[in-house]
Structure formats: structure tokens, C-alpha cells
Structure 1
């Protein structure tokens, strides 16, 4: 049984992070120096660089400030940005978390705010660390998955192994989230066949068609030069590999960034903005997708890679699963699991799926993932726009 941090909203966390959040790029340096000088593995930097308001960024920041792995919040504002700092603080405080706000223009500038920030982090962390603990079953976990730096091995080793782990977690009553509709082009109809209802199936197809239109307007897709160098030949080939991470369980619904799945099961996270393309590429790096999974409540993210990736995450641990045995040997110090053993005949997909499951439980119980231990806490949040999901996207909620 996992020993978890108990939150006032009934959710449970596997970490107790104090988040230091900057609200505009002008406050980034000050917030980063506060985190660096604190030098604590459980004090993480998050933030939004934009100066003008964006409802998506506001939603994501509020979702992360109240994430079950977050125990407290220190807000760092310049003072004249448009981000609603009072609204963010109010949401965090209403959730029962300690929160303090620093305004650089009112605090006396850089040095004074850094000093005040160090004291604020210490106070917030003391309160957070005194929070209640209690048992948590694996069925209460929310687990996300993404792939980054895919190659010709990804779809035959790491990705289907994650799918096996997902099937096991879903069967035990956990919540699993897969994402990136732009990397599911060509898989929409087989995905729809797994939907709980025909209406949800149609919504799944529509979400992929939206992504395809978006990428067509931009003039490029999610198939990158690195994918081709790694042996992938078509978008559909990449899509089938990415799709295999979802496993074979019925699909319970569609969520968008900041939505919390309302019941256990398997969910698609639609990350492509609604409406006409306005903000460029849907996610400028893998870390943007990790942030969106965290905003949907993911305690842990399973990250598959064939070419190799060294990124991690603020707030939630990232478990790296390497698809390519050569990459696994070359980047051994950055990988949690070598799924490339499947190609070498040293393990089956089922064996690696079980290993992913056990590693996820171990990390939930407190073991540090490799990226955590290395200090990776990357965080990216940019501009997007989304409409709320319709009733067809969450059939169990509609039925209730």
C-alpha cells in the first residue's frame, strides 16, 4: 500500500512539492533564484511567461497549484502582468494548501524579493510537511503516457509494453491517460471501435480530424526529421506506434488540458487547440505535453523514447522507457527501463509491461525515478485555446 499525502479535496498525492510559480517572464529569474537557493528536491519551479491573459494558462496553473502532488504554493508576480494572481492564490488557499504571494514591484526589486521568497518557501514547506498521510491503493493512481524521440523500435517495444501496463492498471481500477491526437492520425476508426458509446467514438474521430486540419493549415505535422532518421517512414507508421501505448482497454472518455477524469478508466487527452490555428505548433516540446498530463491529475508519466530524451518534470515523476537497445546503452544513466531487450530476445512485451507496472508502483511508494534523481524539473506553458468537452466525451458522467 502506498503512503500518500491526503488533500482536502479527497485526492491523494505521491509527492509533497512546494511549487514556486512565476506569472510572467519578467518574474522568471527571481523565481528561479528562489528555487535554486532553496536547493531542495521538493521545491519546484513552474510558471507562465506571457504578459497578456489566456484562459488555458489560467486553467492549467490552477490545476497544477491544486495537483495532489503539490503541498503548497509561492507565487512570484512582477506586479503589472495580466495574470490574475489573486485568483490563483484564492484557488490554492481554498484547496487547503498554504500559499504566499510576492510582488517584485512592491517587495523592493530582485534581491529583496529573492530574500522574501526564501523565507516564504520555508514557511510554506513547514506547513506542507506537517500535512496528514494515509494509505493509497494502486487503483487510486492517475497515470499518463507520452512518447518523445520515436524511432523504428518505439512501436514494437516500449509503446506496446506501456499498453500492457495500462491494461493492467485499468483492470485494477486506476485512471490512465494517453494523448497527442496529432500523432494518432490514421488510427481514429480503430480507436473509435473501443469507445464506451457510439457518441464517444464519433467524438474520438472528430478530435483526430481536428488535429489533422490544424497541422494541414500549419503546413507540417508531428512527423519530425528525427523520426525519419530513426527508421520511421510515414505518419501512419508513427501513429500506430503511438497508439499502441493506449493498450486494449475500452476508452472511457476524452479530456482536455486541466480536465480531471471523473471516474477510473482509459482517457484520451486532446491537446490540439480548438478553433482556427492561432498560436503555432500545438506543443512546442514534449515537456508541454507532460505539463498538460499533470494538469489532468497524472501522478506519474510513462515516457517512451527510441532516439533518447533526458527531460523530466516539475510536480510529477517521469519514468523513462527506452525502446531502442543501443540508445538504452548509450543513455543508460537517463533511463528507468530498457524495453529494447524485447528486440534482443531477452524479454517479452508482457515482461516489460510488468516491469513498467512494478516500477510505477515503486515510484508511487517514494522511489525516485531516474529523471527525478538527476534533478530534471522542466516546465513549459504557452498560449492555447479550448472549448469545454461535450457530453458525448464523458459518457459515464452524462449517465450519472
Structure 2
């Protein structure tokens, strides 16, 4: 039985974290020092490094600070950055969560800010012990998926198994989010055929046309040297493997970072900025995409890897599904599920998919993932720009 943490908006979290949020890189060290004594007590550091204001970063931190896995928020500002700290503060306060804003310049510098912050976090941890719990079903779960450190086994084992886990989740009424649109170029017709409405199919097609233009302008696709070393030969081959993560359900909607699925079903997350190319590569590493999946409400992230990625994330548990049996034998301490058994004939895609689905429920009930147990709390947030969703993107809303 999953006992979720009940939030004021009716959503339920599977963790009850305190988020320490730096609002510019100049406040990052202070945020880390505040967290240090409580690192193993569910206190996580997230933040935005830029000094210039950006609507996307504000939207992202609003979504992350009011995520159902977050119970309290400490904001750490230098005092002269461009981030709209007051709007973020009000959004968190209105959500019913305990919130505090520390300005380093006003507080008197590093030492005083750290002391003040640690005292507040200690009080917040005590307050969160009284957070009400409520039964939570699989239909209330939101699960995101990503692949990283992919090799030739990823699209054969881990990705299709995670796709089956998505099918099982959707059958139970939960919400599943797949993304990496930069690795889905050429598959737009297949996704359009799975869209619930023709208008949604057209929106997915437009999203993928934008993605192709964006990467053509940058002159680089989502293909790393490690992918080639691992036996992948083309971006088309990698894309087909990435597409397998989506499973077989109908696509219920198209999201952008910070949009929460309005109901259960399978959703595609558009991670490519709108408009002209302004800020460089859409996501400079896997954790940027994980942050966007969490901002869309994901309680848990499924992460497939063939080469062997070790990253986890702040705020939401990351379940590592290892595609390559040799990698699992070498890096088993970092992996939760051995999907390489499929390659060796020791399990089927359906069996591993069911195993992943059941493990998601156990993690939601409190069982730590390997990345959680190892203390991984990676986080990164960069500059982007998005236009609002059109009505065709969520036809069932």
C-alpha cells in the first residue's frame, strides 16, 4: 500500500523533501553549506545559475518547488540577481508549504546566511513530520522516462521493457511521460498515428519539424561518441531505440516543461525551445531533461542505460534499468533492474516490464532506489524559451 504525502492542492507525493533553492550561482555555495548537515535527511539542493531573468527558469522552479514530493522550501538569494524571487516565494506560500527567503547580502554574508538557513531547515524537518498521509493508488502516479549512456543493447532490452512498464501503468490509470524529441526525428508519422485526435497528431508533427530545424541549425544531433563506441551506428538507430520507451498506448497529449498531465495516459514532452535558436543545445546533459520531467509532475523517473550512467536526481527517485548484461555485472551497485537478461534469453520483455512496473510501486511506497541510497542528487537548469500549449495538445482536458 502506497501512503502518499497529501498536499494542499490534492496531489500526493511519494517523498517529503525540503528543497534548498539557490536563485543565482553566487548563492549556490551557501545553499550547499545549508544542506550539508541534513543531506541524508531528505534535504535537496536545486536552483538556477543565471543572473539574467528568464520566464522558463521561473516556471520551472515554481513547478519544482510545488512538486508533490516537496514539503518545504528555503530560497537562497544573493540579493542583486535578476530572478523574480518574490513571485516564486508567493507561489510556494500559496501552495501551503513552509517557505523562507534568505538574502545573503541583507543577512550579512556567507556565515550568517548558513547559520540562519540551517536553523530554518532543522525546524522545517520537524514540521514535516506532521505532514498528513493518505492512501495512493497507481492511477495517481506520474512516471517519466529517459535513456542515457545508450549503446546497441538499449533499444533491444531496457527501452522496450520500460515501454511495457508504461503500458501497465497506463492500463491502471497512471500518467506516463516520454521525451527526448531530439532522438525521435523521423518517427513523427508513427507518433501521429498513435495520437488520440488528428489535431494532436498534427501538433506532434509540428513539434518534430521544429526539432529537426533546431538541430540542423546547431549542426549536431543527439549522438555522442560513447553511443558509437557502444555499437550504435546512426541517429536513426538510436531514435528507434529511444522510441521504444513509449510503449504501445495511445498518445493522450503533448506537454512542455512545467505542464502537468491533466489525467492518466501517455504523454510526449516537447523539450525543444520555441522560436529561433537562442540558448544553444536544448539539454546539455541528461539531468536537464530529468528536471523537466519532474517539473511535469513525475514522481519517479525510469532511466535506461547500456554504457552505464550513474546519475540520479534531486526531488524524485531515479530507477536505473540496465540494458547491457556486461554493464550490469560491472556496475551492479548503481543499477536497479537487469534488463540485459532479455538479451541472454533469461527473461522476456514483458517479464522485465512487469518487474519495472512493480518496482515503481515499491519505490512509491518508500523503498529507496540505488541512486538514492548512493546519495545522488544531481540537478541542472539552463535558459530556454517556450510558447504556451495550444488546445489541440491536450484534447481530453
Please give the alpha-carbon distance, in whole angstroms, between the structure 1 residues aligned to 2:39 and 2:214. 42
Please give the alpha-carbon distance, in whole angstroms, between the structure 2 residues aligned to 1:128 and 1:92. 15
Gaps of 5+ in 1: none
Please give the alpha-carbon distance, in whole angstroms, between the structure 2 residues aligned to 1:154 and 1:284. 21
Compute the RMSD of aligned alpha carbons: 0.7
1:27 matches 2:6: no
| Superposition pairs of residues 44-59 of structure 1, within 5 angstroms | 44-59=44-59
User: 2:265 corresponds to which residue?
Assistant: 265
1:362 matches 2:362: yes
CA contact (8 A) 1:322 1:338 kept: yes
1:277 matches 2:284: no
Matched positions, count: 397
TM-score, normalised relative to structure 1:
0.98
Please give the alpha-carbon distance, in whole angstroms, between the structure 2 residues aligned to 1:345 and 1:93. 53
Q: List structure 1 runs of 4+ shifted beyond 2 angstroms.
A: 37-41
1:174 matches 2:174: yes
Deviates more, 1:218-227 or 1:293-302: 218-227
What secondary structure sits across from 2:40 in the alignment? Answer: coil
State the Cα deviation string for residues 299-353 of structure 1 (Å, max 9, x = none).
0000000111000010000000000001111111100001001111111101100
CA contact (8 A) 1:56 1:386 kept: yes
CA contact (8 A) 1:74 1:124 kept: no
User: 1:162 corresponds to which residue?
Assistant: 162
Please give the alpha-carbon distance, in whole angstroms, between the structure 1 residues aligned to 2:28 and 2:5. 29
Report deviation, 1:8.
Answer: 0.4
| Superposition pairs of residues 32-181 of structure 1, within 5 angstroms | 32-181=32-181
CA contact (8 A) 2:40 2:375 kept: no
Report deviation, 1:295.
Answer: 0.2
User: 1:193 corresponds to which residue?
Assistant: 193
Please give the alpha-carbon distance, in whole angstroms, between the structure 2 residues aligned to 1:41 and 1:147. 28
Gaps of 5+ in 2: none
User: 1:375 corresponds to which residue?
Assistant: 375
Please give the alpha-carbon distance, in whole angstroms, between the structure 1 residues aligned to 2:41 and 2:142. 22
Report deviation, 1:40.
Answer: 3.0
CA contact (8 A) 2:153 2:306 kept: yes
1:396 matches 2:393: no
Report deviation, 1:41.
Answer: 3.3
CA contact (8 A) 1:55 1:385 kept: yes
Please give the alpha-carbon distance, in whole angstroms, between the structure 2 residues aligned to 1:263 and 1:34. 37
CA contact (8 A) 1:100 1:124 kept: no
TM-score, normalised relative to structure 2:
0.99
Report deviation, 1:263.
Answer: 1.2
CA contact (8 A) 1:320 1:337 kept: yes
What secondary structure sits across from 2:121 in the alignment? Answer: helix
User: 1:387 corresponds to which residue?
Assistant: 387
Report deviation, 1:39.
Answer: 3.2
User: 2:219 corresponds to which residue?
Assistant: 219
What secondary structure sits across from 1:154 in the alignment? Answer: coil
What secondary structure sits across from 2:341 in the alignment? Answer: helix
Please give the alpha-carbon distance, in whole angstroms, between the structure 2 residues aligned to 1:304 and 1:228. 17
What secondary structure sits across from 2:93 in the alignment? Answer: helix
Report deviation, 1:62.
Answer: 0.3
Please give the alpha-carbon distance, in whole angstroms, between the structure 2 residues aligned to 1:82 and 1:129. 35
